[in-house]
Amino acid sequence: FLGASLAMATVTLLGVVFGEALIQIVPVAYLRKGSALLFVLIGVLMFFEIL
């Protein structure tokens, strides 16, 4: 339990740090469009059972 909790906290921390750094480099509008595109792409791949 402790290992899983530490792993989750570490992954969350990494996501926050890299997310903040990415926002400084890439405009938020591009990030939103890119994440929406990836969301749709993953949905299509799952629909056709490719992923």
Q: Model confidence over 10-50: pLDDT tens digits?
A: 999 999 999 999 999 999 999 999 999 999 999 999 999 99
pLDDT band at 5 (very low <50, low <70, confident <90, very high): very high
pTM of the model: 0.67
Query: Which pLDDT score, from 0 to 100, does residue 51 have?
Result: 80
d(CA 36, CA 24): 19
Tokens of 9: 């906290």
The DSSP result for 1-51, as a single string, is: -HHHHHHHHHHHHHHHHHHHHHHHHS-HHHHHHHHHHHHHHHHHHHHTT--
